[in-house]
Amino acid sequence: MPVPTPPALPSAAVLLLLAGLAGAAPAVAGDLAAGRQKAQACRACHGLDGIATMPMAPNIAGNNELYLRNQLEAFRSGKRTNEMMSVVAKGLSDQDIADLAAWYGAIEIEVTLPDTQ
């Protein structure tokens, strides 16, 4: 009877990917109070409360913190580009990004579905 071969061990790359998908703890912890202060630089377009003040800008209140971080890092690195955000993100440190994501991510939002009747 053939001896069953053990399942191949997942490669380090796969493990890293899974850790990322599971939301592994980010390197820098965000600070809410600092995020609120730093959000002064965002309020002209996104509001201090994360509700956009102009039609071109998205609402960012209550978005997932990890998503917010990823977008800000993408604008900073040039992976995602936008004529306004690319300029804004260029000056942000890792700590700034963590703090801003903590602030906007912690805002609680309520939604009301449109009445379709």
54 or 108: whose CB is closer to ligand HEC?
54
DSSP 26-64: PSS---HHHHHHHGGGTHHHH-TTS--SSTTSPP-TT--
Q: Rule CB under 6 A: say whether 98 interacts with ligand HEC.
A: no
17 or 87: whose CB is closer to ligand HEC?
87
CA-based R_g, the chain, Å: 19
Minimum distance between the CB of residue 23 and ligand HEC, rounded to whole angstroms? 17
Exactly one of 30, 47, 65, 71 binds ligand HEC (CB under 6 A); that residue is 71
Tell me the two tokens of residue 17. Answer: 């990917």
DSSP 80: S
- Interacting span for ligand HEC (CB under 6 A) from 4-12, 16-24, 55-63, 109-117: 55-63
- Which residues, at least 6 apart from 40, have a Cβ–Cβ distance to it below 8 Å? 48
Residues that bind ligand HEC (CB under 6 A): 41-42, 44-46, 56-58, 60, 68, 71-72, 82, 84-85, 88, 100
